[in-house]
Amino acid sequence: MSLAVLASAAPGFSRWCCAFGDTREGAEQEGAEGRPARYAPQFFSLSEYRTVEVLTELILPSMEGSGAKEAGVAEFIDFWVKNDPPLQEQFRRGLEWLDRAGGNGRPFIELSPAEQQKILDRLAYRRYQRPEEKTGQLFFRLMRQYTVMGFYTTEIGLKSLDYPGLKFYPTSPGCPHPDNPEHVGL
């Protein structure tokens, strides 16, 4: 298999290559390259997938036009979970838990941004954590892990860290602070 074929099969690829238009409609429409303009999830149901999208975007929001959304992280997670059966139940149960966490019968994606943030704060920060919400806390950690894995392995993700490797250097790059060996006050 050539690299190009491999890459086009890779999750997230449709996001980087194809114009990404209306997010609510057009799941069946063909994009300019003959690919569906709207990604059709392979593992998650459509409503689960939308929640996954929202979560990845809350965990790693766009900064200067680069974040989980632009990197297609939700596609990556869908692909990964489809290929990792032991994880499937954990994701599914976690998403169910999250939809009940608002306590008012409304699923997570229908909550206001402030309500969503309140729930995530309860899961993410030790000072807000509740002992009876272990399931939710573990799910958040899992979700964050796969979001980080999906983002910081893309070109824009590594660019956001100024990843300096896999480049050509004519000589070994040495410390630029020879006068400050202890590196204090940088």
Partner 1 sequence: MATQYDVIVIGTGAGGGMAIRTLCAAGLKVCALNAGRKLDPPKDFQYHRMPWDMPFRGFGSAQQQAQSIGYMDNEYVPNVWEHDLAYSVAPGTSWTWPRCFAVGGKTNFWGRSSARFAEIDFKAASRDGLDVDWPVSYDDIAPYYSRVEQMIGVASTVQNRPSNPDGEYLPPIRFRCRDYILQAAAARAGIPYLPDRFAQLTVPYQGHPACHYCGNCTNGCDVGAFFSSPYFFLPDAEASGKLELRTNTLVREILVDRDGMARGAAYVDRVSRREVEVYGRAVVVAASCIESAHIMLNSKSRQWPTGIANSSGQLGRNLCDQLYGTTASGYLPQLLGTPSFPDNVSGASVAWLPRWQNLKTPAEEPFFRGYSMYPDGGCEEFPSYFDDIEGYGTSYREEIKRRYPTPLSFYVQAPSQRSDRNFVDIDPEKKDVYSIPEVRFHFEWDQNTLKMWEHAKQSSQEIFRQAGAVYQGHGEPQPPGTSLHETGTCRMGNDPRHFVTNRFGQTHDVPNLYVCDASVFLNCTDKTTTLSILAFSLRTSETIVENFRSGGHRSDDPATI
Candidate residues 3, 19, 32, 114; the one interacting with partner 1 per rule CB under 8 A: 3
Rounded CA-CA distance 33/128 in Å is 47
What's the rounded Cα separation, in Å, for the pair 127 and 119?
13
The distance of closest approach from Cβ of residue 26 to partner 1 in the complex, given in angstroms and rounded to an integer, is 25
Nearest to 88 by CA among 39, 144, 44, 136: 44
Decide if 56 contacts 91 (C-beta within 8 A).
no
* Structural contact between residues 27 and 47, judged by C-beta atoms closer than 8 angstroms: no
Which span (23-31, 41-49, 94-102, 160-168) binds partner 1, by CB under 8 A?
160-168
User: Interface residues for partner 1 in 72-111 (CB under 8 A)?
Assistant: 76, 79-80, 83-87
Question: Nearest approach, Cβ of 75 to partner 1 (angstroms)?
Answer: 12
**Nearest approach, Cβ of residue 144 and partner 1 (Å):** 6
Nearest to 81 by CA among 94, 98, 67: 94
What whole-number distance in Å separates Cα of residue 122 and Cα of residue 128? 5
d(CA 131, CA 81): 27
Q: Which of 45, 60, 137, 139 binds partner 1 (CB under 8 A)?
A: 60
Q: Is 152 in the site for partner 1 (CB under 8 A)?
A: yes
Contact between 142 and partner 1 by CB under 8 A: the answer reads no
Q: Which of 32, 65, 105, 168 binds partner 1 (CB under 8 A)?
A: 168
Q: How far apart are CA 104 and CA 167, in angstroms?
A: 52
24 binds partner 1 (CB under 8 A): no
Which tokens in the block code for residue 185? 């006050």
Using CB under 8 A, pick the residue from 18, 54, 58, 98 that binds partner 1. 58
Token look-up 């790059």 returns: 173
Quick one: DSSP state of residue 176?
A: S
Q: Number of residues interacting with partner 1: please give it, by CB under 8 A.
A: 59
**According to the binding rule CB under 8 A, does residue 2 interact with partner 1?**
no
Residues that bind partner 1 (CB under 8 A): 3, 6-7, 9-12, 58-61, 63, 67, 76, 79-80, 83-87, 120, 124-126, 141, 144-145, 148-150, 152-155, 158, 160-177, 181-184, 186
